[in-house]
Structure 1
Amino acid sequence: MYRPAEWDRHDEIIMAWPSIENDAYADKCGSRDLADVTRDISTIAEAVAEFEQVTLLVTPDRLQEAKKRFKHDADGIFIQPVHDYPKLDLWMRDLAPTFVFDGCHLAGVDYNFNGWGNKFPVNASQSLASQIDDNMNLTRISTWLVTEGGSLETDGEGTLLITDSSIINENRNPGKTRQQIEGEIHRTLGVTKIIWLPGVKGGDITDGHVDGLARFVAPGKVVISRPNTLDDSNFSKVFSDARSILANVTDARGRRLEVIEMIEADLYSLGLDRGTLKDIENEKEDYPSLSYVNWLLVNGGVIFPQFGDKKADAAALNTICGLYKDRRVKTVRLDELPFLGGGIHCSAQEVPA
C-alpha cells in the first residue's frame, strides 16, 4: 500500500452538503445553522473548482437546492446523489475513504467511522466510505482499525504524523495496544515511520486530529499551529508537547524536521458579539477551531482559511505564500465551520491521480 502526499496530483476532491436530517444541525438552531454551514462548504467547493473537479455528495432532500446553487458551476462541481446515508455530514476527510495505491491500482481504506468515538450516531447500514468505493468501482481495503482521515498526515515518503488521543482511545479502539495499532497503520497506508504527538482526549469532537495541529508542507518540513496566547491551557500544552517532539525526531528518511510555527487567530479579534464570547468563556459553546494549518492542497493551488482577525489572517497568509511559491493561494473566509470544530481540510478528501 502507498498513501500519496497531498501535494501530488489529484483526479478530484470529494465534498458534501450536510443533510437536513443530521442531528448536529437540528440540535443547534435548525435551518439557520444548516444554511450557514452550507454557505461555508459551498464557498470552499467553488474555490476548489477553480483548480480541479469537485464531486459534491448531496442527499435527495437537498438535491434540487444544490443544483440551483451550482447551476453556473456545472463544469467544475459534479453533484452526486447519496441515497443510503440519511444523516450525511460535511466532514469528508473523515467519512470518505482514505485513498491509497495497492500496487498500480487505486483503492479506498474504510476506517470504520464511528462518529468520532460514538459522539454522533452514524445510523447507516453501510459506511459512506464503502459506498464511495462501490460507486467508484474501487477495491475496499477493510480493517479492524477505527480512525479518521483527519488523524493521518503523511509526507508521501513513509512518514506519518498522528495524535495518540485520536486513535489510542477506548472510544475507537478499545483494548488495542500502540504496537497493534501501528502494525495496522503500516499495513493499510504503507508508511514506515509514525511520529506520535500526544494530543488531548476530549479537547474537541475529534479528540485532537493532527490536521488541525501539524501538517507537512514538504518532506522534512512541518508547519505547527501555535495558540494565539500561550498559557496553562490544554491547547498550549498540546502545542508545546508537539513542538518539542517534532524538533527532536527524524522522519522515515532520517532527516531532522524543520518546524515552522503558524499563530492561530485571536478569538477576541473576530468581531463576535459579547453574548457569543461569554458563551464560549463559560463553555456553553465550544471554542472555535482557529487553526490556519487546516488548509487544503489542490492541483496548482492552496485553499487557505481566513477567520476575520486581520493581523493573524495576514501573517498566516504571508507564511503560506512563502512556503508554496509555486502555487496560487486562494483564501476562503470561514464563519461557521470553526464553531463546529473543523475547517477546510476537514471538509474535503482528495482522490489521487
Structure 2
Amino acid sequence: MSPKRFFIALLQLQTFVASAMYRPAEWDRHDEIIMAWPSIENDAYADKGGSRDLAAATKDISAIAEAVAEFEQVTLLVTPDRLKEAKNRFKHDADDIIIQPIYDYPKLDLWMRDMAPTFVFEGCHLSGVDYNFNGWGNKYPVNASKSLTSQVCDNMDLTRISTWLVTEGGSLEVDGDGTLLITKSSIINENRNPGKSQRQIEDELRRTLGVSKIIWLPGVKGGDITDGHVDGLARFVAPGKVVISKPNTLDDSQFSTVFTEARLILSNATDSRGRRLEVIEMVEADLYSLGLDRGTLKNIESSEEDYPSLSYVNWLLVNGGVIFPQFGDKKADAAALKIIRDLYKDRQVMTVRLDQLPFLGGGIHCSTQEVPEH
C-alpha cells in the first residue's frame, strides 16, 4: 500500500472509531443517577393496590434516592400532579436530589432503567439511545406523544440516537469490555420486535452498544412484566466475572428452570476476550419467611400466582459505593450482603430495605439509570 493510501485508510479508521457507539460498564464513574416518582395517573397502580401501592412504592423509591445521594447527585423526574409533594419531601436534600418536572408523560412510572435513555458515548460525546419503550410489550402502554428518552435528552441537551429496535435497559448488561448479557425472552419476542431475526437484533445491539460478543440466556416469556430481564438474573461484577441469582428453593418451577439453564450457559461461556466466565451464585430471599400479607404478583399471561422479585443481583453501583437490597429475610439478607461486600471490598455497601418494589416486579437497579461521567 502506498503511503498516501495508508494515510487515507488511517483517517477512515479514526473517523469510524470516533463515531462508534460504546456503552460503559456501570462501575465506571457517573455524573448522576436518574430516578422518578410514579404518577398518580399510572395504570399499573390502579390495577394493583391503588393509592396504597403508590404510596408504598414512593416510599421505597425515596429511600433509594436518599441512599444514592450519599454518593452522587440524583435527578428525580416528577409529573405535575406530585411536584409539590416531591419538593416538600426532599426540601432538606435539595442540593443532592434535584427535582425535574416532566410535563408530557402523564403515566410516568418509576422504572427508569427501562424508560429513560440508555446512555452511550459516540466518540467523546455522550448520547442517549431511544429503544422505543412500549410498556414491556404493550402490557402497560404509556400513551405519550413523545418518548421519555426524547424529553430527558432534550433536558440534558444530548443527542437522541434512534433505532428500530424495541427493548429496555433492564435487558442490557454490559461489561464495558465488549460483552453483552441478554435474555432471548425479553427481546426476541413478537411483542417487541415482530418479524426480526436474532441476527438482525444482534447487529443492532452491536451498533448501539459497541459490543462484539453477545451471550444469550433463554429467560422466560410471560413469566413477569419484563419477560425475564437479565438484571434480575445475572450481573457482571467485573470483566469475566458474573453473579447469578439462585432461587431460594430449586424445584420444578419456571424460575428454577431459568436459573438452571442460565447457570449452565454461563459456566461454559467465554467473553469478548476469550476469558471463561467465573460464576458466583447469590441465593434469593425466601418469600415465605416474609409473610404473604402483601400478596404475590400475578403471571402476566396466566393470572396465576407468581413469585415477587426477591433477587439481590438487582443492585446499583454508584461512585465509590453499592446500593444493595434487603428484603427482611434475615438469613438470605446477611448471606447476600457478605457476598457483595467480598466482591466489592473497595466500595462502601449501603443497604436499602425494599417492601413494595419486589411486589411490583422490580428493584433498585430497575428504578435507576446512571449517566456516565462526561
The alignment's TM-score, normalised by the length of structure 2, stands at 0.92
Q: Which residue of 2 aligns with 1:200?
A: 220
Residue-by-residue CA offset, 1:189-244 (whole Å, 9 max, x unaligned) = 00000000000000100000000000000010000000000011110110010000
Shift of 1:277: 6.7
**Aligned counterpart in structure 2 of residue 333 of structure 1, from 348, 353, 356:** 353
Shift of 1:278: 11
**Measured at CA, do residues 205 and 33 of structure 1 come closer, stay the same or move farther in structure 2, by a change above 3 Å?**
same
Q: Which residue of 2 aligns with 1:8?
A: 28
SS of the residue corresponding to residue 107 of structure 1 reads strand
Distance 1:18 1:74 in 2: 19
Shift of 1:271: 3.3
**Aligned counterpart in structure 2 of residue 288 of structure 1, from 308, 314, 318:** 308
- Say whether 1:215 aligns with 2:235: yes
**Measured at CA, do residues 278 and 324 of structure 1 come closer, stay the same or move farther in structure 2, by a change above 3 Å?**
closer
- Say whether 1:63 aligns with 2:66: no
Identity of aligned residues (%): 83
Q: Which residue of 2 aligns with 1:168?
A: 188
**Measured at CA, do residues 183 and 262 of structure 1 come closer, stay the same or move farther in structure 2, by a change above 3 Å?**
same
Shift of 1:285: 5.0
**Measured at CA, do residues 278 and 16 of structure 1 come closer, stay the same or move farther in structure 2, by a change above 3 Å?**
closer
Equivalent residue runs for 1:305-324 within 5 Å: 305-324=325-344
Q: Which residue of 1 aligns with 2:324?
A: 304
Distance 1:173 1:41 in 2: 31
- Say whether 1:25 aligns with 2:83: no
Distance 1:279 1:91 in 2: 18
**Measured at CA, do residues 157 and 277 of structure 1 come closer, stay the same or move farther in structure 2, by a change above 3 Å?**
closer
- Say whether 1:49 aligns with 2:69: yes
Shift of 1:62: 0.3
Larger radius of gyration: 2
The more displaced of 67-76 and 206-215 is 67-76
Shift of 1:30: 1.7
The one-letter amino acid paired with 1:303 is: I
Contact 1:18–1:58, Cα closer than 8 Å, also in 2 = yes
**Measured at CA, do residues 158 and 272 of structure 1 come closer, stay the same or move farther in structure 2, by a change above 3 Å?**
same
Distance 2:85 2:306 in 1: 30
Contact 2:296–2:307, Cα closer than 8 Å, also in 1 = no
SS of the residue corresponding to residue 11 of structure 1 reads strand
Unaligned runs of 5+ in 1: none
- Say whether 1:120 aligns with 2:127: no
Q: Which residue of 2 aligns with 1:230?
A: 250
Contact 1:271–1:308, Cα closer than 8 Å, also in 2 = no
Q: Which residue of 2 aligns with 1:156?
A: 176
Distance 1:164 1:121 in 2: 22
Distance 2:342 2:87 in 1: 37
Contact 2:113–2:170, Cα closer than 8 Å, also in 1 = yes
Distance 2:306 2:253 in 1: 15
Residue-by-residue CA offset, 1:153-178 (whole Å, 9 max, x unaligned) = 00000000000000000000000000
